[in-house]
Amino acid sequence: MPADATPPLQSPGFDLDEPGTYLYSGRASTRGFRLNRFALSLTKPANREAFLADEAAYMAGYDLSEDETALVRARDWTGLLKAGGHLQAILKLAATLGLNLYHIGAHNTGTDADSLYAMCPRGVSATPEPE
Amino acid sequence: MARIVGGLGISHTPSMGLAFDAGMKGEWEPAWKPWFDGTRPVKEWLADLAPDHIVCVYNDHLNHFTFEAYPTFAIGVADAFPQADEGWGPRPAGGPPFPPVPGDTDFAWALTEHLIRTESFDLTVCQELALDHGVYSWLPYIADAPWPAPMTPIAVNMIRHPIPTAQRLRDLGAAIRRAVENLESDARVLVIATGGMSHQISGTRFGIANEDLDRYFLANLKDNMPALVDLPQTEWMRLGGTEAAELGIWFAMRAALSDRIDEIYRYQVFPKITGCGVIAFQEPS
């Protein structure tokens, strides 16, 4: 491995705690309601064009907080999920920017999209315990 | 009376659809070609089975439904179910888009009537419904457009907790069976369920890939479903990634079938970030 390559990630664990997992709850859905409404508006081609032409002006129409707007401007994918953004909604924002799931996952895992792509599938093995 | 002639469980993922489109242009990604090869026998089986209707239990991914109103269970009653735009535009990119999946409103209303009034499944009825990769990613692997049979889609919330219980999904399947058998027609119906298998696409567990869990699920679905249903949904999520909970949708397919079924075909592979599996059951004729 070249010296500047991303080191391999730890094997995924078998727990449901953050930052391994952001379990999408009702509370997250309430917290992220406006953020998700903004992100999901980008499934319409005209809205994608308007957003790309002037991000700030477009976001002003969606009643986002300053923090939420800053997370979008910073492409802070992990921050957006923590703010209640649903992965499937935030993915529409990534798609609009010409990015994909791996860019979000890379930000979550602290690597870059190409390295993460090369690491997948991240194999583990466990089956349910017999009763 | 109408009857269910078979059941199909199959995975879905956006990249499965994109890989198909590239493959049709002669550009198969090496990771995805095995899934194409592995689904050829399903396509042949489906063509031979030639069902008159398909009931498809699937999950949306914030592509038709939004958080303004996200139904726990919904049924599509429309003449056609177009592709949803997931942010990248319609598929295949650069070519004529896939035609809408056809519906049959008479069939779907009769099913809805029975499910709500007799079975107490209070489905949200959607007279417009765009289907996302939950259907359009695997569909071109198992059939050619124009799609061979009208479909009645039933959407299940799998994107925000609380999600329905495994037992409720099993009950849905049993209710679908009784609803089909109540129809005044001689229609031959295929039940498809789609979701999972192992995957998680956010957090530091992104890309978790538990092929042994997927194998365990497929090996037990036909004869040992109660044990799978009894396992807490958090166990599937813990072992196979949060989205492995979607495997619960497959219980709706299995429970719509009798115990006399034959397993026709089973295949699994793990191309990238989602366990891809398919299992086909057929009722004795």
Residue B219 has pLDDT above 60, yes or no: yes
d(CA B249, CA B190): 15
- When divided into structural domains, chain B yields a total of 1
Q: Is residue B276 part of a domain?
A: no
CATH number at residue B167: 3.40.830.10
pLDDT at B2: 95
Q: Which of B115, B201, B208, B117 is nearest to B158 (CA)?
A: B201
Chain B CB contacts of A91 under 8 Å are 86-87
Task: Name B281's bridge partners.
Answer: B7, B263
Secondary structure letter of residue A65 according to DSSP? -
CB B60 within 8 A of CB B132: yes
pLDDT in tens, B136-192: 999 999 999 999 999 999 999 999 999 999 999 999 999 999 999 999 999 999 999
Q: Say if B261 falls within a structural domain.
A: yes
For residue B92, being part of any structural domain is answered with yes
Mean pLDDT of B218-236: 97
Query: Do the bridges between strand B3-10 and strand B188-194 make them parallel or antiparallel, or are there none, so unpaired?
Result: parallel
Does B238 touch chain A if contact means CB atoms closer than 8 Å? yes
Confidence bin at B132 (pLDDT 50/70/90): very high
In-domain check, residue B111: yes
In a domain, B255, yes or no: yes
Q: Would residue B282 count as lying in a domain?
A: no
Residue B115 resides in a domain: yes
Residue B38 lies in a domain: yes
Rounded to whole angstroms, how far apart are CA atoms B73 and B156?
Answer: 5
- Specify the pLDDT at position A80: 98
In which domain, by residue range, is B30 found? 3-195+246-266
Residue A67 structure tokens: 């923090």
- By C-alpha distance, the chain A residue nearest B208 is A122
Task: Tell me, yes or no, if B161 is annotated catalytic.
Answer: no
User: Do residues B152 and B73 lie in contact, with contact meaning Cβ atoms separated by under 8 Å?
Assistant: no
Per-chain mean pLDDT for chain B: 97
Identify the pLDDT of residue A67: 98
- Residue A130, pLDDT score: 60
Give pLDDT < 70 ranges for chain A. 1-7, 130-131
Q: Which of B59, B83, B202 to substitute to test the interface with A, most A CBs within 10 Å?
A: B202
Q: Which domains does chain A have, with CATH numbers?
A: 26-119 (1.10.700.10)
Is B246 a catalytic site residue? yes
Residues 35-74 (A) with a CB less than 8 A from some CB of B: 36-37, 40, 42-45, 48
Q: Do A23 and B209 touch (CB under 8 A)?
A: no
Q: With an 8 Å Cβ cutoff, is A81 touching chain B?
A: yes
Burial profile B174-196: b = 16 or more Cβ within 10 angstroms, e = fewer:
bbbbebbebbeeebbbbbbbbbb
Nearest to A36 among B67, B212, B272 (CB): B67
At B80-129, the pLDDT tens digits run: 999 998 877 899 988 899 999 999 999 999 999 999 999 999 999 999 99
Predicted TM-score of the model (pTM): 0.96
Residue whose entry in the numeric block shows the structure tokens 């061979």:
B148
- Please give the ipTM for the structure prediction: 0.93
> Is any Cβ of chain B less than 8 angstroms from the Cβ of A17?
no
Annotation marks residue B199 as catalytic: yes
Task: Note if B12 is an active site residue.
Answer: yes
Structure tokens at B146: 């124009």
Q: Is A83 part of the contact surface with chain B (CB cutoff 8 Å)?
A: no
Q: Are the beta carbons of B85 and A89 separated by less than 8 Å?
A: no
